[in-house]
Structure formats: C-alpha cells, structure tokens
Amino acid sequence: QKKKMIDDVFDMETELTGSLKQLYNTMANNKVEHAQASVKHDLETILKVLRDGLGYKRTNNLVNEIYRDWIKRTIDEHVKQIRGKWTPQASQKEDFAVFCVRAGVFYNKYGEYSFVRELSEEALDYYKNGNEDNRTCANLYNNMGIARFWEGKYGKAMDLFQKALTICKSVLGDHPDTANAHNGVALIFLTRMKTKSAINELNESLAIQYVSVGKHHPSTAWTHFLMATAYMQLPKLDEALEIFEKAIEISESAWGKTHPTTALIYANTSACLGLMGRLEDSERLLKEAKQIRQATLGLTHQDTMMCKAVIPLAVGSKYACKAFEGVTGVMMNDLPTKVFGPDSAATRLMAKAREEVGTAEALSRKTQKAVFIARKMFDAV
C-alpha cells in the first residue's frame, strides 16, 4: 500500500486512477452508521455506544483523520528519505527536481506552503549556475506561485507564474504545462479584478488544452472553473453557470464526485446559484462541497473553512433574502454589480448595510434573525 501510494503521488500519469483517488472516495463515503457485523446484537450494541458517546459524525471524522494522517505520514517519510540520501551531482539534479515538483503538488493540496517553497528553492538551487529554461524549472516556479497565492502574496505569485509562463512558451510551445501557467496568471488577474485580462489568458489556455489533451481532459475542468469565475465577475451569471456545469461534468468524470477539486467547483457553483437567487440549490450544493472537503481534507483545512464561511450567502431562507434586500436596497440578482468592480463598491455597500442594520431592534423577531443572516452574507462577500 505504501509503495502504491508513493507511486501515485510521484507519477502524474497514475494519480487520477490510483490510490489517492480511492482514498478520497473512501473518506467521503465513510459512514460508521452503515457498518456491518456478523452478529446483529454486536452491531446494535457497538452502534449504540458510538451514537450515545462520540456520535456518528465525530466518529466518522476521527476515522478520516486516521486516513489523512496515514497518507501524510507515508509521503513525509518518503520525502525525508529521498532528501537525506540525495547528493547535488549533475547527473542527479534533474531527477531530484522532478521529485520536488511532484512533492510540491502534494504539499500544496495539504496546505503546507512554506514547505513547498523550501523544496522548490532547494531544487532550483541546482540550476543557479546552469540553464533554468526547462520544463522542470517552470513547474517548480508554478508550484511556488500556487503556494504564494494561497499565502496571499499575490505580487510574488504573479512574478512566479509569469516566469513559468515565459519558460513554457520558449521551451514547450503549445504544451499542457503552458496552459497551466496561463491559468496561474489568470488566477492573479481574477484576484485583482482584471477580468478581461483573465479571460484572455484562459482562452489561450483552453485553445492549447483542446489540441494537446482534448476537451474532456481533467485539466480543462480547472480552466473552465476559472473561466466561470471570471464570468461571475462581469457579472454574466447565466453564462457562468453554464461553464461551471461543464467543469463539474468533466471533474466528476475524471476525479469522481468525492474528490476535493470537484468539491471546490461545487462551492463556486453554489455561490453563482446564490447570486442568481436560487438559494435552495445553492445551499444544497455548498453543503455537499463542505462535507466532501471536510472528509477528505479535514475540519481545519482552509478550503473546508471557506465552505463554512460562505454557507450564509447560500442560506435557503426567504426571510434572509428579504433582509438582504431590505438593509441594502439591492436585489440578490444585482449583487455582483455592487460588490465587484474597481471602485470598491463592496466597501461602501457594507458600510451602508451596517448603518441600516442598526435599526434591527425595531423589527420583528423573525426579521431580526433574517437581518443577522444578512449580516453574515456581507461578511462572506
């Protein structure tokens, strides 16, 4: 099992169908309440102990913690072993750099961004007196860009993504790695609300992917996900939802419904549905995303926390929607126009809402609760 796990993590070709995918599926579907036993009385007794003690939900979380710990420990031990015996010989530097690329992909998923940078810099150090214009270095820069993005260092992330893109264009041409680099640059443009620039990068990415790996390759799911997010910013919600649905279709087919990446696409699709006023659909999809990421990544992972934070935005309550409109004067369908854009409309809207919410004491009890939910919506936005 350990050997297969290591092979899956460090071999790009086997990751999608290997043991990592199987483990994600196991964790997402882990339900102790569905357990079986050969003796019915034993099963009933054990389930009663769990139900009355920790409870099924906490027990399931603990079992999944064991799974995640085993995965992490397996890779940690392997990385420590490889780093300990490696020597900076010219004949080995490429193998070590490739190893660091794959390790970086894994540790980015687990949120260990400082370690990703440490590994990448260690590998890049072998190239400091040589030629950095190669595919491996581009992937190292891309990994570091992802780490910096999640750390909130968007300027540094953009520099790294652009460096990766320059190398890829020069060395690889229209290659899947070049498309990934375009996606990295687009991600920063989206963060900076430069939507049209992001869409240009994503169109270039899709053009490369359609030719090099095909329209239904799993890598296109991420590109569609970013493109849909861009259309949310415009805001063109109908077009965004259509693209999100395409990303979901590809992701479910390639990675399965219980993969963390699929759950991330669910989460943003939920936000789109919420902004369209389809609150019940939004809430259902976001809860599903939270459950998957909680099971596969853990209760404290940033992606799980993000799902928890945004759930109030998707709350399926007519009263919440009414309060949202009441304290802002903004219909849900008009929300993107108000919160997105270069003139910091969201900040002004927030200030107006907080001023208006101050009158909540004069409202009925039910509406006060709705106003409370509406305030959570602003916090999420």
- The pLDDT score that the predictor gives to residue 30 is 85
Which pLDDT does position 203 carry in this prediction? 97
Predicted pLDDT of residue 232 = 86
Residues 329-355 as b or e (16 or more Cβ within 10 Å = b): ebebeebbebbbeeeeeeeebbeebee
- Provide the whole-model pTM: 0.74
Q: How far apart are CA 286 and CA 291, in angstroms?
A: 9
pLDDT score recorded for residue 128:
67
The pair of structure tokens assigned to 179 is 């498309």
Specify whether the backbone of 11 is left (phi greater than 0), alpha (psi in -120 to 50) or beta.
beta
How far, in whole angstroms, is CA 1 from its chain's centroid? 27
Amino acid residing at 268: N
Q: What is the pLDDT of residue 302?
A: 63
Q: Residue 309: its pLDDT value, please? A: 47
Give me the pLDDT at residue 160, please: 96
- CA–CA distances in Å: residue 256 to residues 20, 189, 251: 12, 29, 7
CA distances in angstroms from 234 to 15, 61, 197, 207, listed in the order given: 35, 39, 12, 22
Could you report the average pLDDT of every consecutive run of 10 residues in the chain (381 residues)? 77 58 81 88 91 89 86 87 73 78 84 88 78 87 92 91 95 94 94 91 96 91 93 88 95 86 89 81 86 79 58 42 47 44 46 48 52 58 53
Q: Write down the residue that tokens 């357990």 correspond to.
A: 35
**Sequence-separated (6 or more) residues with CB below 8 Å from residue 99:** 10, 82, 123
Tell me, what's the pLDDT at 249? 95
Q: What's the confidence (pLDDT) of residue 221?
A: 93
Tokens of 251: 């992701």
- Inter-CA distances, 19 with 96, 300, 303, 310, Å: 23, 23, 22, 31
Q: Which of 277, 286, 358 is nearest to 322 (CA)?
A: 277
Three-state SS letters, 11-46: CCCCCCCCHHHHHHHHHHCCCHHHCCCCCHHHHHHH
